[in-house]
């Protein structure tokens, strides 16, 4: 990995983290409606995988999707405006945080239905194969979704047809209040690839370098026509399931504190300092750039108008005249 | 003895009493155990009944519903919590092709005493995939019963009946009613399935509603009362099989019908009830029957957009005024 990539990975993780924390702050102030599922602590996965992609590749995301959107380069202005429900949001306020789309950035949607992104990514892969382009499709999902039929059916179909798809499982240990331990038949979800005759790898999802490496190899395979890969990235859901969720009844605070010590950003930052790649000045500039982008986006979103009511019926659904 | 309970507390008490009374009753679903469910519907159950009867599951809607059916046809009375009605689509084969049909197709050898619970209806900011009011869809499947309580007493009374019923029942919980409070009897009798309730008597208009649309309609009825229109409000409670006699009785008295339906219009519950009165009580009709439904759109996120989609007391009152040629004072 060259110096530029190393720094870009750090900057992207910081950009995601700071955006998430800013959203949490705005949410607490009471300015947002709806459920907000944040991604703090899982940044290395979005950053590492998306760094291995090209601009014209596709992703499908989850209900915890703002990190993926940032990593794919969705403008922060339209992202935050959408979370505010503003007319200038990426979906004009129709979607909100759980339903964000940006076709220009290859973001074929965050979703409110757990597992729904995997069949879609399979179809994106099918279209790529039929149109004979060299794109790939990535489905992000978490441990909980890997217990749904959508996962198993998609892996099988993608495997049979050798579709250019990456199935990226962000195993953060929980599906709402239900731990993976209590609901998932295997500890390493990567082993499920074998059941479908495709490579299934398990990596430390808090190590951005390892995620990037695994994704790069899977992308190479996909573009070479060798078919899909399952990549399990093991991480931890630091925050509650949604903002305002208090988690203490189903997990121990010690577990959360322990996970905080494995922070992916702190690790990578230290590694780059050690490497001599990162100096104080570079880091300050990085932080300043991100802070000013986020501030600009929040100002923009707050100042933007709400959509006009008649927009509720645009685009129109088919119905009798 | 009665106590003041919220809708969700009343539902919980109903399930708890049935689980205490009948060992074959158990609950399963995503987060029903340690967490006590997304809206605390099963809070305390895990400690009281243990992990065997209060089962946290994976996010496997088809298997949850199917395992409920399998357990139900072999001596158990499962309550499967599918969280949001929007996610029941993933369980549809087991609900619509298995649970609904096994009793009939086995020529009555098999019974399916399963309850499928899910929250329904809109709630601020829940948007496209968490605001479904798809009861009409399940009403359209022979073999299923569908209930939707509008108040705490029925939240309890209907869950008692749903659990005791020998066939599959879809039990819907309205997200906007969960914290509504009223006095509920500890030894409440089950609310019979298939029986509507007259929530307010009136002479000029029969207004049929269910779930959240009941309190919204009552509010509208009080408003137009001052303007000289007397509205009778029928709360369906059971959407399938609905209480046609109660609706017809009221309609024969008033000669006018308005159905207020949080679901969508086309092939929906409102259309069904309008065709009932046309087919069975045409002679009593004084005016064209009407329905006020959700607009035919995906539910948008942004509040000013969402506000255009669902009926509420204001739009219901406006519809009534329009029917009676009144202008708002
Ligand atoms: C099909 C479906 N079932 C249930 C839900 C309710 N729900 C929303 S998020 C969630 C947990 C998801 O867990 P996981 O896939 O591990 O994702 P994570 O929240 O950990 O990112 C559940 C059960 C849903 N949105 N869709
Ligand atoms: Mg998870």
Q: Are B197 and B292 in contact (CB under 8 A)?
A: no
Rounded to an integer, the average pLDDT of B277-302 is 98
Rounded to an integer, the average pLDDT of B11-26 is 98
* Non-local CB neighbours of B61 within 8 Å, separated by 6+ positions: A148, B82, B87, B88, B90, B91
| CATH topology (fold) of B197-322 | Rossmann fold (3.40.50)
Q: Point out the ligand 1 atom lying closest to the alpha carbon of residue A141.
A: 15
Rounded to an integer, the average pLDDT of B123-134 is 96
CA of B61, nearest ligand number = 1
* Residue A286 falls inside a structural domain: yes
Quote the CA–CA distance of A58 and A136 in Å, as a whole number: 6
Task: Annotate A63-111 with DSSP letters as a single string.
Answer: SS-HHHHHHTT--HHHHHHHHTT-TTSTTTTSS-TTS--BGGGTB----
CA of A175, nearest ligand number = 1
Q: Are B41 and B173 in contact (CB under 8 A)?
A: yes
What CATH number is given for B2-185 in this structure?
3.40.50.970
Q: Are A141 and A118 in contact (CB under 8 A)?
A: yes
Q: How do residues B284-293 score in pLDDT, each as one tens digit?
A: 999 999 999 9
- pLDDT for position B26: 98
Q: Point out the ligand 1 atom lying closest to the alpha carbon of residue A37.
A: 19
Rounded to an integer, the average pLDDT of B12-22 is 98
The question of whether B174 is a catalytic residue gets the answer no
The values of phi and psi at residue B45, to 5°, are -65, -40
Task: Please give the distance, rounded to the nearest whole angstrom, from the Cα atom of residue A298 to the centre of ligand 2.
Answer: 28
- Sorted by where each begins, the domain ranges of chain B are 2-185, 197-322
Query: Token pair of B85, please?
Result: 């009605």
Q: Are A26 and A298 in contact (CB under 8 A)?
A: yes
**By three-state DSSP, how is residue A235 classified?**
coil
Q: Are A80 and A293 in contact (CB under 8 A)?
A: no
The values of phi and psi at residue B206, to 5°, are -95, 115
Look at chain A and report how many structural domains it folds into: 1
pLDDT band at B329 (very low <50, low <70, confident <90, very high): low
**Quick one: which H or E segment has residue A170?**
strand A165-171
State the Cα angle at B137 between B131 and B140, rounded to 5°. 160
- pLDDT for position B149: 98
Could B38 and A319 be called an inter-chain contact, meaning their C-beta atoms sit closer than 8 Å? no
Quote the CA–CA distance of B54 and B163 in Å, as a whole number: 15
Rounded to an integer, the average pLDDT of B193-202 is 98
Q: Are A98 and B299 in contact (CB under 8 A)?
A: no
**By three-state DSSP, how is residue A280 classified?**
helix
Say if B242 is an interface residue toward chain A (CB within 8 Å): no
Count the neighbouring beta carbons within 10 Å of the beta carbon of residue A153: 14
How would you write chain B as a 3-class SS string?
CEEEEEHHHHHHHHHHHHHHHCCCEEEEECCCCCCCCCCCCCCCHHHHHCCCCEEECCCCHHHHHHHHHHHHCCCCEEEEEEEEHHHHHHHHHHHHHHHCCHHHHCCCCCCCCCEEEEEECCCCCCCCCCCCCCHHHHHCCCCCEEECCCCHHHHHHHHHHHHHCCCCEEEEEECCCCCCEEEEECCCCCCCCCCCEEEECCCCEEEEECCCHHHHHHHHHHHHHCCCCCEEEEECCEEECCCHHHHHHHHHHHCCEEEEEEEECCCCHHHHHHHHHHHHHHHHCCCCCEEEEECCCCCCCCHHHHCCCCCCHHHHHHHHHHHCCCCCC
Beta bridge partners of B169: B115, B145
State the Cα angle at A271 between A267 and A272, rounded to 5°. 120
Say if B60 is an interface residue toward chain A (CB within 8 Å): yes
Count the neighbouring beta carbons within 10 Å of the beta carbon of residue B245: 12
Q: Which residues line ligand 1 (CB under 6 A)?
A: A 62-64, 112-115, 142-145, 172, 174-176, 237, 241; B 30, 59, 61, 83, 87, 90
Could B301 and A95 be called an inter-chain contact, meaning their C-beta atoms sit closer than 8 Å? yes
- Single out the residue of A273, A271, A292 nearest to residue A283, CA to CA: A273
ipTM of the complex: 0.95
* Non-local CB neighbours of B289 within 8 Å, separated by 6+ positions: B256, B257, B258, B259, B274, B277, B278
Quote the CA–CA distance of A287 and A293 in Å, as a whole number: 10
Which residues in A lie closer than 8 A to residue B33 (C-beta atoms)? 177-178
Count the neighbouring beta carbons within 10 Å of the beta carbon of residue A245: 14
Quote the CA–CA distance of A98 and B131 in Å, as a whole number: 13
CA of A139, nearest ligand number = 1
Least confidently predicted of A86-100, A234-248, B99-113, B179-193: A234-248
Rounded to an integer, the average pLDDT of B189-199 is 98
What CATH number should be reported for the domain holding residue A184?
A: 3.40.50.970
Domain region containing A160: 3-299
- Single out the residue of B93, B103, B33, B30 nearest to residue B66, CA to CA: B93
Say if B97 is an interface residue toward chain A (CB within 8 Å): no
pLDDT tens per residue across all 321 residues of chain A: 999 999 999 999 999 999 999 999 999 999 899 999 999 999 999 999 999 999 999 999 999 999 999 999 999 999 999 999 999 999 999 999 999 999 999 999 999 999 999 999 999 999 999 999 999 999 999 999 999 999 999 999 999 999 999 999 999 999 999 999 999 999 999 999 999 999 999 999 999 999 999 999 999 999 999 999 999 999 999 999 999 987 678 999 999 999 999 999 999 999 999 999 999 999 999 999 999 999 999 999 999 999 999 999 999 999 998
Say if B90 is an interface residue toward chain A (CB within 8 Å): yes
Pocket-testing residue among B35, B39, B57, B59, ligand 1, by greatest number of atoms within 8 A of Cβ: B59
pLDDT band at B179 (very low <50, low <70, confident <90, very high): very high
Which residues in A lie closer than 8 A to residue B59 (C-beta atoms)? 114-115, 144-145, 147-148, 175, 183
CA A182 to chain centre: 24
Indicate yes or no: pTM above 0.80: yes
Which of A94, A177, A317 is nearest residue B301 as measured by Cβ atoms?
A: A94
CA A33 to chain centre: 21
Q: Sort A1 into a burial class: Cβ within 10 Å, 0-12 / 13-18 / 19+.
A: middle
Q: Sort B329 into a burial class: Cβ within 10 Å, 0-12 / 13-18 / 19+.
A: exposed
Q: Are B47 and A132 in contact (CB under 8 A)?
A: no
* Residue A305 falls inside a structural domain: no
Quote the CA–CA distance of B306 and B128 in Å, as a whole number: 10
For residues B233, B239, B241 and B245, what is the CA-based torsion angle, rounded to 10 degrees? Answer: 10
Could B124 and A34 be called an inter-chain contact, meaning their C-beta atoms sit closer than 8 Å? yes
Between residues 113 and 132 of chain B, which touch chain A (CB distance below 8 Å)? 124-130
Which residues in B lie closer than 8 A to residue A144 (C-beta atoms)? 30, 58-59
Which of A86, A147, A311 is nearest residue B60 as measured by Cβ atoms?
A: A147
Task: Please give the distance, rounded to the nearest whole angstrom, from the Cα atom of residue A27 to the centre of ligand 2.
Answer: 22
Residue B59 has pLDDT above 80, yes or no: yes
Instruction: Tell me the shortest Cα–Cα distance from B31 to chain A, in angstroms.
Output: 6
Query: Token pair of B254, please?
Result: 């008033």
Instruction: Tell me the shortest Cα–Cα distance from A173 to chain B, in angstroms.
Output: 12
Report the chain B residue with the minimal C-alpha distance to residue A97: B301
Could A144 and B34 be called an inter-chain contact, meaning their C-beta atoms sit closer than 8 Å? no
Q: Sort B298 into a burial class: Cβ within 10 Å, 0-12 / 13-18 / 19+.
A: middle
State the distance between the two ends of chain A, measured CA to CA, in whole angstroms.
60
- pLDDT for position A247: 67
The reply to whether domains B2-185 and B197-322 share a CATH topology is: yes
**By three-state DSSP, how is residue A175 classified?**
strand
Q: Are B212 and B261 in contact (CB under 8 A)?
A: no
Q: Are B101 and B143 in contact (CB under 8 A)?
A: yes
Report the chain A residue with the minimal C-alpha distance to residue B51: A182
Query: Token pair of A12, please?
Result: 């992207």
CA of A241, nearest ligand number = 1
* Non-local CB neighbours of A290 within 8 Å, separated by 6+ positions: A11, A14, A15, A18
Quote the CA–CA distance of B261 and B242 in Å, as a whole number: 14
Could A313 and B301 be called an inter-chain contact, meaning their C-beta atoms sit closer than 8 Å? no
Q: Which of B122, B130, B174, B296 is the catalytic position?
A: B130
CB pairs under 8 A between A and B: 140
Which residues in B lie closer than 8 A to residue A115 (C-beta atoms)? 59
Which of A34, A177, A317 is nearest residue B127 as measured by Cβ atoms?
A: A34
């Amino acid at each position: 990995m060259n110096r530029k990539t190393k720094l870009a990975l750090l900057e992207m993780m910081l950009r995601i983290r700071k955006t998430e924390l800013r959203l949490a702050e705005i949410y607490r102030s009471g300015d947002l409606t709806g459920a907000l599922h944040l991604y703090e602590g899982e940044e290395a996965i979005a950053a590492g995988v998306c760094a291995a992609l090209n601009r014209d590749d596709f992703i499908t995301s989850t209900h915890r999707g703002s990190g993926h959107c940032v990593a794919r380069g969705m403008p922060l202005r339209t992202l935050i405006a959408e979370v505010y429900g503003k007319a200038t949001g990426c979906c004009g306020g129709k979607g909100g945080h759980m339903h964000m789309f940006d076709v220009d950035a290859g973001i074929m949607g965050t979703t409110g239905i757990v597992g729904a992104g995997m069949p879609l990514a399979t179809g994106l892969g099918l279209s790529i194969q039929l149109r004979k382009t060299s794109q790939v499709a990535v489905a992000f999902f978490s441990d909980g979704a890997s217990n749904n039929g959508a996962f198993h059916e998609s892996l099988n179909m993608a495997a049979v047809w050798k579709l250019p798809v990456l199935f990226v499982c962000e195993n953060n240990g929980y599906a709402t209040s239900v731990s993976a331990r209590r609901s998932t038949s295997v500890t390493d979800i990567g082993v499920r690839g074998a059941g479908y005759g495709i490579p299934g790898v398990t990596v430390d999802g808090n190590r951005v370098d390892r995620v990037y490496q695994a994704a790069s190899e899977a992308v190479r395979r996909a573009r070479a026509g060798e078919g899909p890969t399952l990549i399990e990235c093991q991480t931890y859901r630091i925050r509650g399931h949604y903002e305002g969720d208090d988690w203490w009844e189903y997990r121990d605070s010690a577990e959360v504190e322990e996970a905080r010590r494995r922070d992916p950003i702190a690790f990578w930052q230290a590694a780059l300092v050690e490497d001599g790649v990162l100096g104080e000045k570079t880091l300050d500039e990085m932080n300043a750039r991100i802070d000013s982008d986020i501030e600009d986006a929040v100002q923009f979103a707050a100042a933007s108008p709400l959509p006009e009511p008649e927009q509720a019926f645009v685009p129109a659904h088919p119905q009798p005249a | 003895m009665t106590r003041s309970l919220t809708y969700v507390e009343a539902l919980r008490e109903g399930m708890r009493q049935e689980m205490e009374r009948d060992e074959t009753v158990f609950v399963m679903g995503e987060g029903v155990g340690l967490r006590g469910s997304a809206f605390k519907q099963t809070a305390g159950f895990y400690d009281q009944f243990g992990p065997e009867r209060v089962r946290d599951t994976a996010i496997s809607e088809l298997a949850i519903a199917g395992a409920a059916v399998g357990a139900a046809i072999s001596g158990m009375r499962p309550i499967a919590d599918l969280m949001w009605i929007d996610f029941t689509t993933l369980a549809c084969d087991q609900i619509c092709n298995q649970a609904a049909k096994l009793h009939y197709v086995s020529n009555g050898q098999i019974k399916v005493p399963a309850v499928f619970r899910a929250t329904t209806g809109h709630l601020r900011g829940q948007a496209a995939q968490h605001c479904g009011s798809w009861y009409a869809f399940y009403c359209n499947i022979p073999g299923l019963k569908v209930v939707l309580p509008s108040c705490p007493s029925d939240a309890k009374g209907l869950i008692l009946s749903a659990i005791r019923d020998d066939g599959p029942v879809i039990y819907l919980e309205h997200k906007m009613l969960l914290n509504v409070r009223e006095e509920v009897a500890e030894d409440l009798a089950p609310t019979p399935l298939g029986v509507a309730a007259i929530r307010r008597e009136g002479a000029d208009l029969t207004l049929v509603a269910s779930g959240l649309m009941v309190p919204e309609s009552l509010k509208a009825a009080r408003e137009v009362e001052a303007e000289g229109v007397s509205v009778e409000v029928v709360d369906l409670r059971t959407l399938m099989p609905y209480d046609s006699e109660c609706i017809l009785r009221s309609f024969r008295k008033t000669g006018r019908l308005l159905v207020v339906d949080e679901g969508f219009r086309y092939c929906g519950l409102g259309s069904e009830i309008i065709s009932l009165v046309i087919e069975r009580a045409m002679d009593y009709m004084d005016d064209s029957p009407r329905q006020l439904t959700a607009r035919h759109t995906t539910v948008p996120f942004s509040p000013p957009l969402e506000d255009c989609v669902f009926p509420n007391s204001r739009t219901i009152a406006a519809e009534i005024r329009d029917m009676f040629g009144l202008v708002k004072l």
